[in-house]
């Protein structure tokens, strides 16, 4: 699908928010990067709830923020402690990282690439009613293992990984087991869904496209 199909909005509010979730190494970053490229960085930004978390955690613990953002072993060795640290903050204020993550966003389409908890999904639905699309990225355990995933007790069986396994109705589920043509077809379908929801949302919120 061409980017011209999507409108440039004059509003400072987003017209659509894609709430992405998925297990470790399901390919959330990979898939969201491809979608952003299709929509262009002018139209669409990727926001990570874990970015402000990792930034503050890196500062407090004298760690390399860039490596915590990456997909390598460095991040994994701090994951359990980052989860603990983040949950302490969330207990005081469940929207803490959501608010920080969206602070500087100006594009009309937002991708939240790492929703993990019901409180994340609820926060966005409450703050931005009628603008959210819930997308799940799934890959088999075999595929995830090939990408470096190993089951870790206390991580893969905890809320950070399982908080959205039930009780969320996903608007779209992407199977990402590595076949390019299969992924491509699903991305086409998702882009069509985004376009139609964007039109509905703009009508509902009376947002006018730029001339
Ligand atoms: N469809 C794909 N084709 C090729 N490589 C892929 C695909 N999906 C994911 N990968 C690769 O698998 C690895 C894990 O993907 P990614 O970092 O996107 O997963 P993630 O769900 O964001 O993981 P985590 O949250 O555990 O860091 C990366 O090296 C990525 O490039
Ligand atoms: C600490 C944590 O934010 C790490 C997320 O890292 P990533 O999205 O897998 O790159 C997970 C969590 O918030 O429970």
What domains does the chain contain, in order, with CATH numbers?
20-203 (3.40.50.300)
pLDDT bucket at 11, cuts 50 / 70 / 90: very low
Please give the distance, rounded to the nearest whole angstrom, from the Cα atom of residue 147 to the centre of ligand 1: 7
DSSP of 15-28, one letter per residue?
SEEEEEEE-TTS-H
Give the ipTM: 0.97
Contact 110, 45 (CB under 8 A): yes
Q: Express each pLDDT in 50-91 by its tens digit.
A: 999 999 999 999 999 999 999 889 999 999 999 999 999 999
Q: How far is Cα 39 from Cα 32, in angstroms, rounded to an integer?
A: 10
Which atom of ligand 1 lies nearest, measured to the CA of 114?
A: 25
Closest-approaching ligand to the CA atom of 52: 2
Strand-pair category, 44-47 with 132-138: unpaired
Q: Which residue has 């402000």 as its token pair?
A: 52
pLDDT bucket at 100, cuts 50 / 70 / 90: very high
Under 8 Å CB-to-CB from 74, ≥6 apart: which residues? 64, 67, 68
Q: Express each pLDDT in 163-199 by its tens digit.
A: 999 989 999 999 999 899 999 999 999 999 999 998 8
* Triad 189, 109, 204: Cα angle to 5°: 85
pTM of the model: 0.93
115 lines ligand 2 (CB under 6 A): no
Q: How far is Cα 183 from Cα 188, in angstroms, rounded to an integer?
A: 9
113 lines ligand 2 (CB under 6 A): no
Which atom of ligand 1 lies nearest, measured to the CA of 139?
A: 8
Q: What percent of the chain has pLDDT over 90?
A: 84
């Amino acid at each position: 699908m061409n980017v011209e199909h999507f409108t440039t909005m004059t509003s400072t509010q987003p017209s659509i928010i894609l709430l992405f979730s998925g297990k470790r190494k399901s390919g959330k970053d990979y898939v969201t990067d491809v979608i952003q490229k299709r929509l262009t960085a002018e139209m669409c930004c990727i926001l990570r709830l874990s970015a402000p978390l990792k930034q503050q955690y890196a500062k407090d613990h004298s760690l390399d923020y860039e490596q915590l953002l990456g997909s390598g072993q460095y991040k994994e060795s701090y994951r359990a402690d980052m989860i603990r640290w983040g949950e302490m903050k969330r207990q005081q204020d469940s929207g803490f990282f959501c608010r920080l993550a969206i602070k500087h966003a100006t594009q009309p389409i937002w991708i939240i690439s790492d929703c993990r908890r019901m409180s994340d999904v609820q926060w966005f639905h409450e703050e931005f009613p009628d603008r959210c699309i819930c997308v799940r990225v799934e890959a088999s355990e075999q595929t995830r293992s090939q990408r470096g995933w190993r089951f870790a007790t206390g991580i893969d069986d905890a809320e950070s990984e399982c908080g959205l396994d039930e009780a969320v109705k996903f608007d779209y589920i992407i199977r990402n087991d590595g076949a390019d043509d299969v992924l491509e077809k699903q991305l086409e379908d998702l882009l069509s869904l985004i376009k139609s929801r964007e039109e509905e949302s703009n009508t509902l919120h009376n947002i006018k496209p730029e001339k």
